[in-house]
C-alpha cells in the first residue's frame, strides 16, 4: 500500500469520530428498546412487568444521558441496568406476595373471613348502631378526641388535628370515654 493510501486510511477513523454525533435519546430508544424488552421479559416472565421494567430502564437512561457510556458500550450498560431493575422488581414482588400471604393467614386465623349466622350479624350491627348513637350524643371536642385516640393517634397529633392545647387532650379523651360509657349504658340497657 502506498504512503498516501496508508495516510488516508489512518486518518479516516479520526475524521469519522470527529464528525460522529452522539446518539440522542430517541435514537437510543429506537435502537435498543427491543433488546431491553426481551431481556426484561426473559427475566420476569410477564409481559406487563417487562414493559414496566423497560420503561424504568429508559427513564434511568433519560435521567443519566450525560453520564451513560458512549455508543459502543451503551447496549451492554442498558442490558445490565435491565437485569438489575428486573431483579429488583422480582424481589419486590416476592416481598409483596409474602406480605399478602401473611395478611391472609392472620385474617383467616382471626376469623375475619368467617361467615356469621344471621342472628349474630344482626346483633353485631345493632351494637355498632348503638355505639354510633352514643358517640353522636357526646359533645365536641370530646367525641373527636376519643375517636382520634381510638385510631391510634398520639396526644400531640390529636392536639394538632383539633387545634387544642396538648395538655387538654388527655382530659378530653378521659371525659369522652366516661361520657361514652354513661350514654352507651343507657342506650344498651334499653334493649
Per residue in 12-26, pLDDT (tens digit) is 454 444 445 677 888
Reading phi first (left if > 0) and then psi (alpha if -120 to 50, else beta), residue 22 is in: beta
The residue extents of the domains of the chain are 3-108, 118-189
Q: Rounded to an integer, what distance in angstroms lies between the CA atom of residue 40 and that of residue 91?
A: 14
Q: With contact defined as beta carbons under 8 Å apart, do 173 and 123 qualify? A: no
Fold held by 118-189? Arc Repressor Mutant, subunit A (1.10.10)
Q: Is the dihedral of CA 144, 146, 147, 152 positive or negative?
A: positive
Q: Whole-prediction pTM value? A: 0.45
Give the number of C-alpha atoms closer than 13 A to the C-alpha of residue 96, restricted to the C-beta side: 6
Hey, do 3-108 and 118-189 end up sharing a CATH topology, with the first three levels equal? no
Q: Is a pLDDT exceeding 80 seen at residue 187?
A: no
| Percent of the chain residues topping a pLDDT of 70 | 82
Of these ranges, 2-16, 29-43, 105-119, the one predicted with the greatest mean pLDDT is: 29-43
The position carrying cell 350524643 is: 137
Fold held by 3-108? Rna Polymerase Sigma Factor; Chain: A (1.10.1740)
Q: Given 3-state DSSP classes, what are the helix, strand and coil percentages for the chain, each rounded to the nearest 5?
A: 80, 0, 20
Q: With contact defined as beta carbons under 8 Å apart, do 189 and 133 qualify? A: no
Amino acid at each position: 500500500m502506498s504512503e498516501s493510501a496508508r495516510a488516508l486510511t489512518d486518518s479516516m477513523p479520526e475524521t469519522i469520530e470527529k464528525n460522529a454525533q452522539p446518539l440522542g435519546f430517541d435514537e437510543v430508544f429506537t435502537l435498543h428498546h427491543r433488546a431491553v424488552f426481551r431481556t426484561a421479559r426473559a427475566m420476569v416472565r410477564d409481559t406487563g412487568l417487562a414493559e414496566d421494567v423497560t420503561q424504568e430502564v429508559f427513564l434511568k437512561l433519560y435521567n443519566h444521558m450525560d453520564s451513560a457510556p458512549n455508543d459502543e458500550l451503551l447496549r451492554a450498560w442498558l442490558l445490565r441496568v435491565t437485569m438489575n431493575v428486573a431483579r429488583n422488581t422480582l424481589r419486590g414482588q416476592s416481598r409483596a406476595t409474602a406480605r399478602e400471604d401473611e395478611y391472609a393467614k392472620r385474617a383467616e386465623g382471626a376469623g375475619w373471613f368467617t361467615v356469621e349466622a344471621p342472628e349474630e350479624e344482626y346483633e353485631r350491627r345493632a351494637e355498632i348502631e348503638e355505639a354510633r348513637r352514643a358517640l353522636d350524643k357526646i359533645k365536641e371536642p370530646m367525641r373527636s378526641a376519643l375517636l382520634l385516640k381510638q385510631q391510634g393517634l398520639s396526644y400531640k397529633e390529636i392536639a394538632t388535628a383539633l387545634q387544642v392545647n396538648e395538655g387538654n387532650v388527655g382530659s378530653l379523651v378521659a371525659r369522652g370515654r366516661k361520657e361514652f360509657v354513661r350514654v352507651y349504658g343507657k342506650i344498651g340497657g334499653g334493649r
